[in-house]
Amino acid sequence: MDFNITPKVMLDTIGLDEVVEFAENPEPRCPCVLLLDTSGSMQGEAIEALNQGLLSLKDELNNNSLASRRVEVAIITFDSNVNVVQDFVTADQFNPPILTGQGLTNMGAGIHKALDIIQERKAQYRANGIAYYRPWVFMITDGEPQGELDHTIEQATQRLQTDEANKRVAFFTVGVENANMSRLSQIAVRTPLKLKGLNFVEMFVWLSASMSAVSHSKVEEQVALPPIGWGTV
């Protein structure tokens, strides 16, 4: 009888979680580029709502401890220029910029830049042995390409469509207010969504939930996303 007691007591007092050690691997990363239209027409209410939305994206991602370590956000703005205003950072390090609107709509160059930084980021992940999820680009615009050569836009469109087809990226387009939805659907592979009003906060809450879902789920190909309440197809 007594013989049986000792090992049981041992097992009870020394839990497995005290003796089993874990491998130290870097967190897998879930990169997301926000490709934002900051042209003149966005100035005013729209850009303010967008800035609010970015703050809620940060808060939402940080509510999920795994997502805050796995989701990496980068922000590219496009107007008459294209700027990487935020290079990739994990959500816990993300401090949303305050954006202002001015100039034209260099969307083609913006798309190129987004695909460029994704390619670079993947190379960095691979060089450092970091596993990653399929990158997302979330393009938000209230217009259509403007102030660029047709050739630039065509090239960007073609590259985007090749990258989608080869699963290098999942590219989502959101149109705001007077966005030219039919023009946008010629550029993107996935059907662009129309934002209801300036409901950026709800949209970014959704984006956070989707990225959180992606960052811990396993899928065959398509990402199963939460229902969209903030927009329409």
Partner 1 sequence: MDTSKQIPHWRVLAASVCGTSHLKNQQLCQDAHHFSILPDNILVAAVADGAGSAKLGKVGAMIATETVIDYLSIQGITQRTLADDNLVRSLLMEAMLAAYKAVEEEAIACNKKPQDLASTLIITIATPLMAAVAQIGDGLAVAKDTMGNLIALTLPDFGEYINETIFLVTPGALDTAQVRLWREAIVNVGVLTDGLQMLAMNMSVRAPHKPFFFPLFDFVASAEDKTMAKEQLVRFLRSDRITQRTDDDLTLIIAALSN
Q: Which stretch binds partner 1 (CB under 8 A): 79-87, 149-157, 196-204, 214-222?
A: 214-222
**Are 32 and 86 in contact, with CB atoms under 8 Å apart?**
no
Q: Look at residues 36, 37, 93, 35 and name the one whose alpha carbon lies nearest to residue 61.
A: 93
- Find the shortest distance in angstroms from Cβ 233 to partner 1: 20
- Find the shortest distance in angstroms from Cβ 208 to partner 1: 14
Q: Does 11 bind partner 1 (CB under 8 A)?
A: yes
Q: Does 167 bind partner 1 (CB under 8 A)?
A: yes
The correct pick among 98, 116, 149, 216 for binding partner 1 (CB under 8 A) is 216
Burial class (CB in 10 A: 0-12, 13-18, 19+), 202: middle
Q: Which is nearer to partner 1, 55 or 209 (CB)?
A: 209
**Are 229 and 206 in contact, with CB atoms under 8 Å apart?**
yes
The correct pick among 1, 4, 95, 151 for binding partner 1 (CB under 8 A) is 4
How many Å apart are CA 115 and CA 119, to the nearest integer? 6
Structure tokens at 206: 């959704």
How many Å apart are CA 173 and CA 193, to the nearest integer? 6
Q: Does 151 bind partner 1 (CB under 8 A)?
A: no
| Footprint (CB under 8 A) of partner 1, residues 168-207 | none
Q: Does 217 bind partner 1 (CB under 8 A)?
A: yes
| Element (DSSP H or E) covering residue 156 | helix 150-165
- Find the shortest distance in angstroms from Cβ 63 to partner 1: 11
The correct pick among 13, 95, 222, 227 for binding partner 1 (CB under 8 A) is 222
How many Å apart are CA 43 and CA 53, to the nearest integer? 15
CB 92: neighbour CB atoms within 10 A?
13
Q: Does 165 bind partner 1 (CB under 8 A)?
A: no
- Find the shortest distance in angstroms from Cβ 59 to partner 1: 18
Q: Look at residues 124, 56, 113 and name the one whose alpha carbon lies nearest to residue 89.
A: 124
Enumerate binding residues for partner 1 (CB under 8 A): 4, 7-8, 11-12, 15-17, 19-26, 28, 65-66, 129, 131-134, 167, 214-224
